[in-house]
A = this chain, B = another copy of it.
């Protein structure tokens, strides 16, 4: 097989990032959300941004066709941003659409063709009833072999989760501890879909019971609450409601520029020093259910390009569309060993905000929400803020000189891993 070292023709810096509020927003379209995210990004560019200087636009979006009867969402969004006639490209790789858009922006700058590229991602998902949304999301699996056999995404990840629990003798409680951690993080993120800890949910449920004159439930702790099927029903065993990310509307943007002009925008650029991208087989045709091979390949490419090791990375935003997905991710990214170590990392405090490797300090997809096309770009926005020390009350105290984003398409058919450096 033909092989050569993966190296970009020139360096790329991240000089601005922003996101819309994540949540159910009945009065907003994809275009509104992109406009909101871009407005947020503009505030983040220290020395200011003249939108006329943007040379090209890449937008990740999974399903405006299904939720808005709308294709060409990149060119339409570009018009609403005032970017027309700049080239606008929509990329779609399911839930990795956002990171793939960012990566195409990186390649476009490295190609020498552009110096200043706006990347973004958006998804408007709340416009259809939940069962239709589940069907639309199923378009991201193999319609011929998976969706048609009855698989939905909670089911696909349940297959991976049950294999993991069985193979490594891990308890479902370890999955729930990922949810507890990510809600603890996201409670500090005002843009999160549910800026609430699990304790907040417990209080809300207890208050509701009291209001209805029902006996007020008393749970010893979060785990007891999450193991109460009245309040946390099973969706697809072992995935309970709180193992699943919500259905969210939202958008995010990231501004990339050629390294040599980064100083025109900020004195604190973040450099994207590694980018890896791999595809994977569908679940019916994969060698393992306890690892996502495309994550391992994309991570290897990104680490080699960046000349870093997993242990050098201080924080990471990883793709936790389901709690098991975070456990798979931190194993495949080389942060923890696949099996008990990865599964128990959240519960053992290793991946909490004050742990040795804080994971999903934004709240992750689980708590922040997962507007499919936006997710990969929102991860970039979080890393941008954290590395610049601008994350407010959720700022990690670690000295974050190296960070990673990890965005998964579908059940592992696309993965993009990127490495960021603060110099």
Contact with B along A96-119 (1 / 0, CB 8 A): 000010001011101111011000
Taking a contact as CB atoms under 8 Å apart, the answer to whether A89 and B71 are in contact is no
Question: Which residues of B are found within 8 Å of A88, using beta-carbon distances?
Answer: 93, 279, 414
Q: Which of A51-74 contact B (CB under 8 A)?
A: 52-53, 55-56, 62-63, 65-66, 68-72, 74
Question: Which residues of B are found within 8 Å of A72, using beta-carbon distances?
Answer: 92-94, 139-141, 409-410, 413-414
Contact with B along A138-170 (1 / 0, CB 8 A): 111111100100000000000000000000000
CB distance from A69 to the nearest CB of B (A): 5
Question: Which residues of B are found within 8 Å of A280, using beta-carbon distances?
Answer: 75, 84-85
A366 CA to B68 CA in the complex, in Å? Answer: 30
Question: Which residues of B are found within 8 Å of A10, using beta-carbon distances?
Answer: 9
Contact of A86 (CB < 8 Å), options: B93, B108, B279: B279
A1 part of interface (Cβ distance < 8 Å): yes
Question: Which residues of B are found within 8 Å of A78, using beta-carbon distances?
Answer: 279
A6 part of interface (Cβ distance < 8 Å): yes
A45 part of interface (Cβ distance < 8 Å): no
Question: Which residues of B are found within 8 Å of A53, using beta-carbon distances?
Answer: 1-2
Given contacts A2-B53, A94-B72, contact A279 B84 (CB under 8 A): yes
A309 part of interface (Cβ distance < 8 Å): no
A288 part of interface (Cβ distance < 8 Å): no
Taking a contact as CB atoms under 8 Å apart, the answer to whether B85 and A89 are in contact is no
A4 part of interface (Cβ distance < 8 Å): yes
Taking a contact as CB atoms under 8 Å apart, the answer to whether B107 and A140 are in contact is no
Taking a contact as CB atoms under 8 Å apart, the answer to whether B75 and A113 are in contact is no
Question: Which residues of B are found within 8 Å of A56, using beta-carbon distances?
Answer: 277
Taking a contact as CB atoms under 8 Å apart, the answer to whether B71 and A94 are in contact is yes
* Highest count of chain B CB atoms <10 Å: which of A6, A52, A279, A280: A279
Contact of A7 (CB < 8 Å), options: B8, B52, B113, B285: B113
Q: Which of A25-56 contact B (CB under 8 A)?
A: 29, 50, 52-53, 55-56
A4 CA to B62 CA in the complex, in Å? Answer: 33
Given contacts A9-B112, A70-B143, A285-B79, contact A90 B89 (CB under 8 A): no
Taking a contact as CB atoms under 8 Å apart, the answer to whether B52 and A1 are in contact is yes
CB distance from A62 to the nearest CB of B (A): 6
Taking a contact as CB atoms under 8 Å apart, the answer to whether A29 and B75 are in contact is no
A294 CA to B78 CA in the complex, in Å? Answer: 14
A367 CA to B326 CA in the complex, in Å? Answer: 51
